[in-house]
Chain A
Amino acid sequence: MRIVLLLLLSLVSLMVSAGPEQDRLAFRAYFEQRFPDLDINAHADGAYALDAQKREQWLAMEDFPPYEFTVDDGMVLFQEPFADGATYGDCFADEGAVKHQYPVWDDARKMVVTLELAINDCRSLHGEAPLPYGSEEMMQLTAYMAFVSRDRAIAIEVPPEAEAAYNQGKQYYYSRRGQLNFACSHCHLQMSGMNLRAERLSASIGQVTHWPTYRLKWQAVGPLHRRYARCNEQVGSEGLPFQHETYRNLEFFMTYMSNGLPINGPATRK
């Protein structure tokens, strides 16, 4: 009896302490089972992968994408030399096509570094003032870097030292929040593909592939953390500032869940 109990306890502790890769496989399998007729990579298109009519309208909009000028301005900024003569190209390999490798764990600083943080690190290294995270320039740079990273499969790593940050992001994602008592997972895992009023709920897998995004509601290109804050607000929960540690950890978790999916940012969303 005692051995059975011990075995059961070990099994439970194994389930609770499942590592990032087991999490990712289970996450992916969940969506493969939920949407058996859809290629998993198609979720990079968000809700437009799940609604044929809206997809058609969205594709028509992509003929003249509203983020185009942002990408062009970003390219100019990326190539423009700093006061010391260096450019962003000295900090980022492949002409900036590195979006699929972010966020990364910085073991020296013991923190998750998003692309926005890495851009500001680059600026500091070359004697430039950091950019505000929601600024137009930051959106231009990240939009350009996402654009040149298109079709590259997300490939981030969670080393053992980063597991605490990863787990914090994971817990945030699955925790109920706000007066409406909703977790991210309620809308984008459990109810993905269903309608919330007139909106089709996208699947969580692939949600990080297309940022920054031009949202018609914003009439501007905005970052993923702005969307997080809005999601919080929609369930009656207080949001956090852009690049807050908790949002960076959430992005780390969500990006790892989407490992293998192609970058297709920037994008247009309602």
Chain B
Amino acid sequence: MTRYLLLIILLLPGLCDSAAAAQPAAADIESQLAEAERLHTVAQAGHHGWIPTSRLITEARSTLAQGELAAAAEIAARALTAARASVAQMQREQADWSARVPGS
């Protein structure tokens, strides 16, 4: 019994450290959101802005403000994915659209 207790006491600081390391930093989330916003602006300029992108950015910011870092990081990652996909769509469509014209 004493041996088990000793083991737990020895492992506890390590467990706490790894839990802290898994928690995303607010600064990283902010930088992801800044990149998502930048890409969203690029997509908007080409009329390819996606509705979910701005919704996810707003949601991530509000979650971050509430201090829920893990959830905010997840939403920010989704926002960045959506923003990247919208820009990729815009770039791809610069050429692909003409294949849909009847008679082309």
Contacts and interface: CB of A to CB of B under 8 A. Distances in A.
A74 to B, nearest CB: 32
B67 interface: no
B98 A174 contact: yes
A204 to B, nearest CB: 10
Contacts of A176: 89, 92-93, 96-97
- DSSP class of B's interface residues: helix, strand, loop or mixed? helix
A29 interface: yes
Given A18-B103, A26-B103, A183 B89 contact: no
A240 interface: yes
Contacts of B92: 176
A178 B97 contact: no
Given A170-B101, A176-B92, A179-B85, 20 more contacts: A22-B103, A23-B103, A26-B102, A29-B102, A30-B103, A172-B47, A175-B93, A175-B97, A176-B89, A177-B48, A177-B89, A179-B51, A179-B86, A236-B50, A237-B47, A237-B51, A238-B44, A238-B47, A238-B50, A240-B47
Q: How large is the interface on B (under 10, 10 to 19, 20 to 34, 35 or more residues)?
A: 20 to 34
A195 interface: no
Interface centre among B47, B82, B103, by most chain A C-beta atoms within 10 angstroms, is: B47
A253 to B, nearest CB: 11
Interface of B: 44, 47-52, 54, 82, 85-86, 89, 92-93, 96-98, 100-104
Nearest to B82: A179
Contact of B50 (A23, A29, A178, A246): A178
A172 to B, nearest CB: 7
B47 A177 contact: yes
A166 B28 CA distance: 44
A246 B102 contact: no
Interface of A: 15-16, 18, 22-23, 26-27, 29-30, 170-172, 174-179, 181, 183, 185-186, 189-190, 233, 236-238, 240, 246
Given A179-B51, A181-B89, A237-B51, A27 B102 contact: yes
B104 A179 contact: no
A246 B70 CA distance: 40
A236 B51 contact: yes
A26 B47 CA distance: 27
Nearest to B46: A175
A66 B101 CA distance: 36
9 contacts: A26-B101, A174-B97, A176-B96, A177-B47, A179-B86, A185-B100, A236-B52, A238-B51, A240-B47
B59 to A, nearest CB: 15
Contacts of A174: 97-98, 100-101
A136 B26 CA distance: 48
Contacts of B85: 179
Nearest to A181: B89
